[in-house]
Amino acid sequence: MDNKADLGALFGAAAETKTFLGLEACADFETMIAPVAILGAPCATPYAAVGAYCRNGPDALRQATGSLTANVDRHDFDHGGPVFPSAKLRPVDCGNLTFDEADSAANRQKIADAVSTFLKRGAVPVLLGGDDSIPIPMIEAIGAQANGAKFTILQIDAHIDWREVHMGERLGLSSTMRRASEMPHIERIIQVGARGIGSAATSDYEDAVAWGAEFFPAYDVHKNGVEAVLERIPNGSNIIICIDADALDPALIPGVIGRAPGGLSYYQAVDLIKGAAARGRIAAMDFVEFMPERDVDGIGALTFARLITTALGVLVRQAD
């Protein structure tokens, strides 16, 4: 029995959604005029043992917005108005990059080239992963155009991603924050949501602390709220927000490779994004590690796509 009534049909949405929230598709990055550019990056630097296991993430997240495509202009209570209040300031969906699981360098170059073009066009890049290796070329590309500007990374993740090397790979998903720390334009890293046992050794954590990374484990957020995190973002900062789906509780997003109990709630994540935008300017975001094959009845896709939608609403408001 799978003839379930469909919310999208109730709201008059199209049966299949090609773009996130039914937003305009952008085929030519070079001529883009938009405040925000959404781009699917199915793969960057996969570990051989697991391959590009999040390759289907971007399309699953688009599909999860399908029931809302006819309603995107209605009242959004998470914004106190439509998610995109101005018709002129709507994100565009740039589709998915192609990738070759056997050519990580080419995958990284494609991501970096796209991000560079978005920045030149004045659009905030929003990457949909893909695993957590895709932010490395994104952050690097931001550095290439930084002109001396410094950036704060707000990483929201169950894991700290400070391995020097894992399975012989330095640019994989377990090393993202360590690689970022080595880039001269990154002056501050704030990491929220760590919990349980991840791939990091205690020495990795100690290296991160020695560098100056600041940690707010998930337990601290549950106990003390997000204000203490936000206070660490200096006013006027340029902020890169890196969100791993496993930061949220696995009851909310089961579709991840490593479910870690005790995760953040949807509104804790929302408050981190809104709070960051209130203190500085969000220069780029990534949403990674969503693995639809591990999801349960689309619950995780719904939650992550909703968080992305809320973030897009925040980004268009800062462009205003």
Stretch touching Mn ion by CB under 5 A, among 1-9, 64-72, 151-159, 228-236 = 151-159
Please report how close the Cβ of residue 53 comes to Mn ion at its closest, in angstroms: 13
Return the closest-CA partner of residue 50 out of 301, 304, 305, 256. 256
Residue 300: both structure tokens together: 């995780």
Q: Per CB under 5 A, which of residues 13..72 are in contact with Mn ion?
A: none
The 3-state DSSP composition of the chain as helix, strand, coil percent (nearest 5) reads 35, 20, 45
Nearer to Mn ion by C-beta: 108 or 159? 159
Cα Rg of the chain, angstroms: 18
Stretch touching Mn ion by CB under 5 A, among 31-39, 149-157, 227-235, 247-255 = 149-157
Please report how close the Cβ of residue 291 comes to Mn ion at its closest, in angstroms: 12
Q: Per CB under 5 A, which of residues 213..252 are in contact with Mn ion?
A: 244
Q: Per CB under 5 A, which of residues 76..135 are in contact with Mn ion?
A: 132
Nearer to Mn ion by C-beta: 94 or 291? 291
- Report the alpha-carbon distance of residue 114 to residue 98 in Å, rounded: 12
Mark 264-300 as b/e (b = at least 16 C-beta within 10 Å): bebebbbbbbbbbbebbebbbbbbbbbbbebbeeeeb
Nearer to Mn ion by C-beta: 35 or 172? 172
Nearer to Mn ion by C-beta: 59 or 286? 286
- Report the alpha-carbon distance of residue 244 to residue 290 in Å, rounded: 8
Residue with tokens 């565009």: 92
Please report how close the Cβ of residue 319 comes to Mn ion at its closest, in angstroms: 28
- Report the alpha-carbon distance of residue 314 to residue 140 in Å, rounded: 24
Nearer to Mn ion by C-beta: 76 or 161? 161
Nearer to Mn ion by C-beta: 258 or 298? 258
Please report how close the Cβ of residue 158 comes to Mn ion at its closest, in angstroms: 7
Residues in the chain: 320
| Cβ atoms within 10 Å of 92's Cβ, excluding its own | 23
- Report the alpha-carbon distance of residue 29 to residue 27 in Å, rounded: 6
In this structure, are residues 158 and 197 in contact, taking their beta carbons and an 8 Å threshold? no
Please report how close the Cβ of residue 120 comes to Mn ion at its closest, in angstroms: 28
Binding to Mn ion by CB under 5 A, coded x per residue (else -) over 155-174, reads --x-x-x-------------
Residues in the interface with Mn ion (CB under 5 A) total: 5
Nearer to Mn ion by C-beta: 157 or 204? 157
Nearer to Mn ion by C-beta: 129 or 313? 129
Please report how close the Cβ of residue 252 comes to Mn ion at its closest, in angstroms: 16
Burial classification of residue 98, based on how many CB atoms lie within 10 Å of its CB (0-12 exposed, 13-18 middle, 19 or more buried): exposed
Nearer to Mn ion by C-beta: 161 or 207? 161
CB proximity list for 147: less than 8 A, separation 6 or greater? none
In this structure, are residues 167 and 104 in contact, taking their beta carbons and an 8 Å threshold? no
Query: In this structure, is the dihedral angle defined by the CA atoms of residues 247, 249, 255 and 259, taken in order, positive or negative?
Result: positive
Please report how close the Cβ of residue 132 comes to Mn ion at its closest, in angstroms: 4
Please report how close the Cβ of residue 136 comes to Mn ion at its closest, in angstroms: 11
Please report how close the Cβ of residue 199 comes to Mn ion at its closest, in angstroms: 9
Residue 74's Cβ-side half-sphere holds a number of Cα atoms within 13 Å equal to 8
Q: Which residues of this protein are in contact with Mn ion, per CB under 5 A?
A: 132, 157, 159, 161, 244
